[in-house]
Amino acid sequence: MSATTTSAVLAALLDRLERSDARCGVIGLGYVGLPLGMALAHAGFRVLGFDVAHDVVVRLNAGESHIADVLSAELAQHIERGRFEATADAARLAECDTLSICVPTPLSKTRDPDVSYVVAAAEAVAAALRPGQLIILESTTYPGTTREVLLPKLEAGGLRAGQDFFLCFSPERVDPGNTHWTVHNTPKVIGGITAACARAGAGLYGRVMARVVTVSSTEAAELTKLLENTFRAVNIALVNEMAQVADRLAVDVFEVIDAAATKPFGFMRFDPGPGIGGHCIPLDPHYLAWKMRTLDYKTRLIDLAGEVNSEMPRYVVAKVQEALNAQRRAVNGSRILVLGVAYKRDVDDTRESPALDVMRLLEAKGADIAYHDPHVDEVHEAETVRRSVPLTAAELSRTDCVVIITDHTSVDYGLLAAFDGPVVDTRNALRGHGARTLVGLSGHARIAEGAADVVE
């Protein structure tokens, strides 16, 4: 195809995008894909959402959202206006002018990237590919995935990226539960296989997001996402280790962090906790570490951060053991109530949640485990189904120890003020609420209303 023809194909697509006349497809309607679909619809595009889960498609077409960040009322409004439709028919992808791939990218048991969902999506897109389409991979993955995995499959039919169709990578930056930074106002990074691809990608997302940041290649865009979350993982590992340092010095690590955070320059606050969860922070550094191993480079700092963070659930269990020992009780036979199983505050997402590890470890030591989470009614693990219990005085009367893993804002922490047993608070959630016996991640256990008596 000549440069003139290529320019005409790009110009036609950009014109349709500018007039919001394009049909936009979203592949994968989960935590990333559905909010993106709503943002595209809000910008005036007609959106076709594709998902392999038939029940998800049926619920969405009925106006019922399965994602907390997307209100059913918003979804129903876009459906009524003809701006959103869900389908499980991959052949319909040919109807779309743009296709954003938002499928899972988990790790295997050996911590290697599992790109099978990306491969399946690429094959579905390749089967429906036609000239003039824009394809954007949003799934977090290792640098090189767009060029090495998607590009060959999409070009196998004879069409060429940057000439006949356009291929980009744009890392998702969804922060579940964050009402301030949303899809609309979070800057959108995009890199293309060619400059024309990048222009096409920016032409789409420039109509949806407040700011688009174009980088020189798909690899630069892929590495951008990994740097963002590796930065967080490493700094969380630092404060998690600092919590253990402070514990040995009998110092409250949260007091130290509060004081350090008063410095107006050179310090960025991170808080310790029971471990890291969600799809991004526990996984993204491993994509980068795996890629570097293929290039004969060892990511020493990343690997060490992963070790520190992954050991935090065991550290929390040790704190529970110490707290119960001080009451002359063993973990074996004790009833332990875990507050919060979501991976972070005020969301219903339990992916990679450290609470699940803490519960498994305590059960392995013979504890009787219950949990309360206002956002998560059930947790399914293998053949086991756990159900949330109400947080009541009656429930606490049957409990020997409470462990706060997720500091949801709707939890009535005041109930714990009268609780007779120890409370292991991994999130500093009880500041200002009190507890008779409070055990933090570091420092002295405290009796009554904050007196510094040590529980030995």
Tens of pLDDT along 135-193? 999 999 999 999 999 999 999 999 999 999 999 999 999 888 888 999 999 999 999 99
Contact yes or no for 176/347 (Cβ under 8 A): yes
Q: Pick the catalytic residue: 96, 102, 197, 280? A: 280
pLDDT at 141: 94
Q: How many residues does the chain have?
A: 456
168 catalytic? Reply is no
Q: Which residue has the higher pLDDT, 2 or 125?
A: 125
Contact yes or no for 87/14 (Cβ under 8 A): no
CB proximity list for 411: less than 8 A, separation 6 or greater: 339, 340, 372, 374, 391, 429
Is 377 in a helix, a strand, or coil? coil
Residues 56 and 146 in one domain: yes
Residues 163 and 250 in one domain: no
Residues 378 and 421 in one domain: yes
Total domain count for the chain?
2
> Which strands form 98-101's sheet, in the order they lie side by side?
84-87, 46-50, 23-27, 98-101, 134-137, 166-169, 188-192, 212-215
Residues 419 and 431 in one domain: yes
- Residue pLDDT, tens place only, 224-269: 999 999 999 999 999 999 999 999 999 999 999 999 999 999 999 9
3-state SS of 384-406 is EEEECCCCCHHHHHCCCEEEECC
Last residue of a domain, one of 171, 191, 216: 216
Last residue of a domain, one of 163, 182, 216: 216
- Residue pLDDT, tens place only, 270-305: 999 999 998 888 889 999 999 999 999 999 999 999
Q: Which two tokens stand for residue 133?
A: 């389409």
H runs (alpha helix) in 261-392:
284-294, 300-310, 312-326, 354-364
Distance CA 112, CA 107 (A): 5
Which structural domain, as residue segments, surrounds residue 87?
3-216
Return the C-alpha torsion angle 348, 351, 356, 360, nearest 10: 150
Residues 125 and 244 in one domain: no
Last residue of a domain, one of 200, 216, 232: 216
Distance CA 9, CA 405 (A): 53
Contact yes or no for 344/408 (Cβ under 8 A): no
pLDDT at 107: 83
Specify the CATH number for the domain of residue 259: 3.40.50.720
> How many H-runs (helices) and E-runs (strands) does the chain carry?
15, 16
